[in-house]
Amino acid sequence: MGAASIKQSSKVHPTNTQDPVTEQHVQDVNLIWVGALLNNSNEVIMRENLQTVNHYVQLIPDIDAFRAHLPEEKAEKIFVVINGTLAKDFIDKFHDNSLIDSIFIFDNHPTSESQEVYEGLQLSFVKVASFTEFNAMKLHIATSIKELLQQTVAFGMFDDKQKLARDLNRDAASFLWFQMLLDVLKGIPQENKEKRIMLDMCRRIYHDNSKEMKLIREFDKDYKSTTAVWWYTRECFLYRLVNKALRQEDIRFLQVYRFFIVDLCNQLEQEHRKRVENDSDDKDKIIDLYRGQQMTKAEKDKLKSNLNSLISTNGFFSTSQNIETAITFAKRRGTGRSDIVPVVFHIKAKSNLESVIFADIANLGAMPGEAEYLFSIGAVFHIDEIKHDSEERIWRVTMTATDKGAKSRKEYIEKTKLDMEETSEDVLFGRLLIDMSQYEDAESYYQSMLSTISSNHVDHAAIYHNLGRAKGYKGDLNGAQESFLLALRDRQHIDEKHPNVARTLNSIGIIYGEQGKYTKAMNTFKDALEIQELYSSSLNGSNKPQKRSISLNMAITYSNMGWVYYLCGEFEKAKKAHCKALDIRKQYLTDEHPLIADYYSSIGSIEHAQGLYKEALANYTTSLNMRRKTLPQNHPSIANSYQLLGELGHDNGKYDKALAQYKIVEEMRIASFGVDHSSLASIYKSIGSVHLDCGQYQTALDNYNHALSICKKTLSEMHPAFGDCYHMLGMVFERQEKYDMALQSYSKSRDNFSKVLPKNHPMIAKVVSSIGNVQMRQMKYAQAIRMYEDVLKMQEECLSNTQHHPDIVLTLNNFGVVYSMMRDFQQSETYFTKALDICNRCFASDHPTKARIFHNMGDMYKAMSHLEKAHANFIQAFNIRENTLSDDHLSTADTCYKLGWVCSELRDFNDALFYFNKCLGIYQSVGAQRMSVIDDRDVKRVTTSIRLVKRELEIE
């Protein structure tokens, strides 16, 4: 297709312009050239040429290389210039990629045929434009990038329901974080070197960009605090770097740029105060301001769903007094794109607001004459109305600037104080980073704080405590334990019996529980409870706020104890501990408070484990309904409720319902965190497990690999989530009878777990058990037995206080199966009997695990030719599966076939026909729903059996 002056023979290697340290921060927009370079050009010249448009440039030789180097989610938007010869193929493959904002076809000598193709692509694909003049294309790209950056603004939402929640959702945490950001930045001691540190970073980022380096030198020479607005509004490095750091809530870079950010905020505040003083005679004066921008449909829908809530801008917010300017700006980019909608904000702002700072910068900016008002960091608005203007074809959002953000911040601080937690805003600021799931940033922030304060500073223990929380959430259990122990040391040094000591002990206990050190965890919780009870008894009747606080903290301890009892399989003790927590909470909280909902969720989990599925469903549903009433939309606790309901449906064999619940969780987490958050790995593993049990192995693999890819992007390789992914991948390979691949995955899983967890941790035991299962399938029975012996030893060490844990049941069952295969039926029967004995102590009478054991015992007696005993055990398995699983569960079909065979051997052909027909009916039902993959050999086997039985009964 034409392109006569394009240097087709030029070999282009994938290149970029950044070193690894600064790359992720700079690339708010990626400009990527795909294909051969221009004639008489080389990589250096081309890169310098394109850098006059956008600093971050990549040169990619072809489509395959583009796919391999496609940036991950951290790259906000991509602009692609594609060689005309590659255009159609590229657009077909990548047009719908959400990261790609625009595609520019360049062909400086198109033929009439190729020009017709380009015009067709522009009509068919809204992101596409074509050019024959290089400079014209550069100008268009530069304008598009500028408009994109001006329109890119993030919001944080705050719903009044959030006030009840102990754990903030991400939006609320982000909202409060920006309310505190400026004070935190101002509170960091300003030193003479701050400007140098900022400019050194800028030079490192733009070292190969002569245009920006010239501006950096100019800034270094001429900048004064009174010119902060002028520099911010100038087209240069500052606008992009500062706004990117604010938009991504990147505290590390915000600390680097705080020198300039504080100056800019101070100048805006000075102008704001001048206006307030000038308008003192008109205290009710309202200033009408407007902002036009493009938003995705998802962003617009999020605004609609938060009508009458508070919204905070994550950065500086530019507005105009001219509504026509706003409307024009809203329509300027891509109005024909189906994924983008134009939005005009109408903001009503009282002139004398105290905490919302905004100023007229028409005479301060680099572009004088523009009627621009700039809002400072953390401006808060109330969303009054959202409606569609069909005449203008825009969405109109009416908002009122409000000081309620400062009130929400104050209430949050008072609430944490009431809960006997941190009151220092510097410490709370880092806690909000944790609530925002920015664990690395929180860890870096607290480490920075520790480096600037003395060991006897009032916040020293609190910083270590929250540093432990950040490390724990990112999976660094050993690092978390170390930090918590340092916090404990500091707090015990001040007062061994202070409630804060109990709080840190609770955190240490949780780490022990995660490590599988259940005895240590329980003892630590008991130590915490002893301190809390002693403190509570010391309070007199008039100190009601502290009595309430210490009591609610005791409830947390009881709940933690219930969690450890649950992990140990001590289900009745777990229920009692949670009931104690509930009794305390009912004294101080409303009937539908989120902490009351937590109780029903915990009890539901215990009943789920016991096989009391109807009771578990009722409690899960009660918890979900409470959370939906009292928590903001998409709160993590609501998502967790849906995930628990999905797991219950999965265990019941109701796969379609399970997948429907998991889909809700996926959508909620994407709405809250984006497509690559670590919490999504969990849901993709759950979805994969449903497809695994349905025999849909490729779909299961796809989901497990998706989970693994998210872990690689978001977590340290030492995180146990990696081991879990490898274990699940191994389970698919095992089912596919790809035993070598299964063992390789199990080995990876075991290696991962062994690096971060104690040697007898339950997760390691499960992997070793899976290795034994593969060896049993390979008929390497002696090796399998050695594995199961190792597993049982681990479980007995880890669960030293209880010998009737569900995990032990499964290990004893495995022993029974392998000895049965070895025809050592005496040993097999002994192990099955032990397994059933434990089942009777920890499970409901019709738990599916009991059905599995009865079924395996039926197989054992069948192999022994003890048909009556085989029949009795298969009947037990059938009755349990009929009562607890879905009507078309394949496990029931398997038992029905075995019963039919035994009945046939016993010459009871009527019963044999009944069970064979039931088996076939399940296969047909499942096949019709296409939920599970049915092996044709199984269908043929049962139809043959039905034909033979009918012959015996002389039925045609």
pLDDT digits (tens, 9 = 90+) for 685-697: 999 999 999 889 9
- Same domain, yes or no: 70 and 180: no
Whichever domain contains 696, its CATH number is: 1.25.40.10
Residue 730: predicted pLDDT: 97
In terms of average pLDDT, the best of 22-26, 31-35, 272-276 is 272-276
Whichever domain contains 296, its CATH number is: 3.90.176.10
Q: pLDDT tier at 627 (50, 70, 90 boundaries)?
A: very high
- Same domain, yes or no: 394 and 262: yes
Residue 11: predicted pLDDT: 39
Q: Is residue 490 part of a domain?
A: no
How many structural domains comprise the chain?
3
- Same domain, yes or no: 270 and 406: yes
Q: Is residue 420 part of a domain?
A: no
Only one residue has tokens 């105009």, namely 320
Residue 99: predicted pLDDT: 79
Last residue of a domain, one of 751, 779, 801: 801
Q: What is the mean pLDDT of residues 787-814?
A: 88
pLDDT digits (tens, 9 = 90+) for 389-434: 999 889 999 999 999 888 887 887 777 766 656 668 889 888 888 8
* N-term to C-term CA, the chain: 70
**DSSP-assigned letter for residue 952:** H
Least confident of 272-286, 540-554, 640-654: 540-554
Buried b (16+ CB within 10 A) or exposed e, 604-615: bbbbbbbbbbeb
- Same domain, yes or no: 93 and 210: no
Residue 21, pLDDT > 70, answer no
Residue 733, pLDDT > 80, answer yes
CA 342 to chain centre: 29
pLDDT digits (tens, 9 = 90+) for 470-514: 999 888 899 999 999 999 999 999 999 999 999 999 999 999 999
Q: Is residue 115 part of a domain?
A: yes
Q: Is residue 597 part of a domain?
A: no
**pTM: predicted TM-score of the whole model, two decimal places:** 0.81
Consecutive H or E run containing 340? strand 340-350
Cα 87 to Cα 778: distance, rounded to the nearest angstrom: 52
Q: What is the DSSP string of 117-172?
A: HHHHHHHH-TTEEEES-HHHHHHHHHHHHHHHHHH---EEEE-GGGGG-SS--HHH
Q: What is the mean pLDDT of residues 584-596?
A: 93
SS (H, E, C) 448-470: HHHCCCCCCCCCHHHHHHHHHHH
Least confident of 31-45, 206-220, 450-464, 888-902: 31-45
Q: Is residue 316 part of a domain?
A: yes
- Same domain, yes or no: 181 and 81: no
Q: Is residue 97 part of a domain?
A: yes
- Residue 48: which domain range? 29-151
Q: Is residue 694 part of a domain?
A: yes
- Same domain, yes or no: 361 and 391: yes
Last residue of a domain, one of 151, 181, 214: 151
Cα 415 to Cα 167: distance, rounded to the nearest angstrom: 12
Task: Classify 293 in phi/psi space as left (phi over 0), alpha (psi -120 to 50) or beta.
Answer: beta
Residue 535: predicted pLDDT: 93
- 621 versus 432: which is more confidently predicted? 621
Q: Is residue 622 part of a domain?
A: no
Instruction: Give Cβ neighbours of residue 58 (< 8 Å, ≥ 6 apart).
Output: 14, 15, 16, 30, 31, 32, 33, 69
